[in-house]
Amino acid sequence: MAIVSALQNQLIQLQLFEEYSWIFNLLFYVIFVVFIFYGQRIQMYVMLREVEGSLYKLKYIKDEGRKIAIETIKEIGKPQTDPTGRVDRFLEYFTIAPQSLDPAGVVWKLEHILDVRDVRFKDEVKLMAPAADETQAYNLENTLEAAMALNYIYKIIRHFYLLGKKTLSLYIIMQIQMILPLIMREAEAYASALKAFAYGQPIGDGAGALVAAKLMYGYETRKMPKDCVVATVPIEGRTAFVIKAEGPGGNVGKIGDAVKAIIDENEGKIAAIIMIDAAMKLEGEEVGEVAEGVGAAIGGPGVDQFKIEESILKYRIPINAVIVREDIGDAVSPMRKEIFDSADKAIDRIKQVILERTKEGDKVIIAGVGNSIGIGQ
Amino acid sequence: MSKTPQNATTRISTFVLLIIFLTLALSLTALILATTFFGQDNKIIAGYLLLIGFIGVALSTYVLFQIRKRVLRLRIELPPIVTTIECRKCGFKIVREFQRGDYIFKKGELCQKCNENMLITAIYREVKEKEKTAP
Ligand SMILES: [Zn+2]
């Protein structure tokens, strides 16, 4: 304000403008009054425009995702009819979470609903892409799920944008504008995930699966319930049951069921469980940093974590976790070199844990958690 | 990939571009006029024209760069993803671009040196990250 009035004073001093100085004066007051009464409204329009810009970008990303999904289905699945209509219907698919008013047993209800969803998705993919083999079908399912997530994000942002425009409520616009940078990051991550899934490239989330694959390579594997494989590997004089989701199709498997089955097979005589997973890093932390702790390191809807915790409680088995740090963008986009290299560091850490926490001849479970897309065994 | 961007995003930017270039032209004329007024010893008008000209040029170039940045960010760029294939027997190594169907621990091509099956040992992308360190 001081600068403006100084400038104004200067204007008055100028000979040329002397007789018109009142115009500048008036203009100055008018602007002042306008900003007092309409400042908030102007700010709101600025925010609305910002959201609009992001919405255009989201629409572009979402359309691109849908296009890639359809092209991949046509290329791999070789359907007789055009899959576009079916894909569009699939993108609108929703899942209703079970009622948790009475939380007892809600995990089993959730698991059942997720199973139904899974079966439904697999059937749908089979219909869309009859020529795809099992690995490709898994990858297509993942691709479609990423396209679905993008579609959902777009629709939510559009909803708040239109609602804000309709009501002209600062608070509706403000809440969406405030979280917009985070949402855009997530959308970009899903967009690169979609491409990785379409091509079957390993993603950052597969860090745990990669560690397990490296440990079990060269040893006999057998299938476990559901979509998991296990290998019996001698490590440092101990017997390790190494578990991972079956690759190279995009799939996370039910690690919880596999861990439970191994524990039951050995009647609870397991000296330790070590879980390896990719975990969210905080800004400032290094990508691919390996850290160690205790607890069941497994993400997802929580069903597997619950199952593992239930089964180790029965026999009081100690559980250790080794995590590889990465951010959301790295987790779902093609695996970065830093994360790939950290697999060897994680293996060293696992060996160290085994040496320190178990005795020779003990049995241990090593579970590599994560999407096994692009990672065989 | 070349078809989809023909939507509203690009249409808006052409309209905005027109206005920006108009502003740029007008501010440049203001600057030229300023020099002539300087020649006529009309310092005050010349000063004002100079001010207007500079503000106009600065504003339009700023907006222009903003738009360019937005268009650049709109593309989903894919970093190159490399597959490393290794011979377990003689250590012969091939690094090539990722192809559909590759996966880690896939047995594939025969080794050029000893005719043994080679193994895919790594698939990753390399990101050159701008170093931003915090205290
Ligand atoms: Zn060789």
| pLDDT tens digits, one per residue of B39-52 | 777 777 788 888 88
pLDDT bracket for residue B37 (50, 70, 90): confident
Contact present, A215 and A246 (Cβ < 8 Å): no
Structure tokens at B75: 């593309």
- Name the CATH superfamily, with its identifier, for domain A204-368: Peptidyl-tRNA hydrolase (3.40.50.1470)
The pLDDT-based confidence of B29 (bands split at 50, 70, 90) is confident
Residue A366: which region, alpha, beta or left (left: phi > 0; alpha: psi -120 to 50)?
beta
Q: Could you tell me the distance, in angstroms and rounded to a whole number, from the CA of residue B89 to the centre of ligand 1?
A: 5
Chain A residues whose CB is inside 8 A of the B44 CB are 14, 16
- Residue B80: the pLDDT is 84
- Is B124's CB within 8 Å of A377's CB? no
Share of residues in chain A with pLDDT > 70 (%) = 94
CB A210 to CB B104 under 8 A?
yes
- CB contacts of A14 in chain B (<8 Å) are 44
What value does the CA radius of gyration of chain A take, rounded to a whole number of Å?
Answer: 28
DSSP annotation of A243 reads E
- Condensed to tens digits (0 to 9), the pLDDT of residues B92-109 reads 888 888 888 889 988 877
Domain definitions of chain A by residue range: 48-199, 204-368
Q: Whole-angstrom Cα distance, residue A246 to residue A368?
A: 11
* Mean pLDDT computed over B120-131: 79
Q: Average pLDDT, whole number, for chain B? A: 78
- Of A217, A333, A335, which is closest to B123 when you measure between CB atoms? A335
Neighbouring residues of B19: CB distance < 8 A, sequence distance ≥ 6? none
Distance from C-alpha of A267 to C-alpha of A318, rounded to nearest angstrom: 15
Closest by Cβ to A337, choosing from B74, B104, B124: B124
Q: Which residues are CB-contacts of A55 (< 8 A; sequence separation ≥ 6)?
A: A154, A157, A158, A161
Helices marked H in B3-42: 8-39
**What pLDDT is attached to residue B1?**
37
Residues 6+ apart with CB under 8 A from A282: none
Query: Which helix (H) or strand (E) element contains residue A127?
Result: helix A106-128
Distance CA A207, CA A335 (A): 8
pTM: 0.80
Q: What pLDDT does A12 receive?
A: 54
Local confidence band at B73 (pLDDT 50, 70, 90 cut-offs): low
pLDDT of residue A363: 93
Q: Which residues surround ligand 1, an ion (CB under 5 A)?
A: B 87, 89-90, 92, 111, 113-114, 116
For residue range A147-158, list pLDDT tens digits in order.
999 999 999 999
Residue B5 has pLDDT above 80, yes or no: no
Sites in chain A below the pLDDT cut of 50: none
Strands A238-245 and A363-368: parallel
* Of the partner residues B73, B74, B105, the one whose CB lies closest to the CB of residue A213: B105
CA–CA separation, A141 and A94 (whole Å): 15
Question: What is the rounded distance in angstroms from the CA atom of residue B130 to the CA atom of residue B125?
Answer: 16
Whether residue A334 and residue B79 make contact (CB cut-off 8 A), yes or no, is yes
Dump pLDDT digits (tens) for B15-24. Answer: 778 888 888 8
Q: Are A140 and A148 in contact (CB under 8 A)?
A: no
Contact B124 A334 (CB under 8 A): yes
Flag if A340 and B124 touch (Cβ within 8 Å).
yes
pLDDT at A15: 53
ipTM entry:
0.80
Which of B78, B104, B134 lies closest to A376 in CB terms?
B104
A78-90 b/e (C-beta count within 10 Å ≥ 16 → b): ebeeebeebbeeb
The reported pLDDT for the residue numbered A275 is 94
CA–centroid distance, B84 to ligand 1, in Å, is 14
Residue A288 is encoded by which pair of tokens? 């691919």
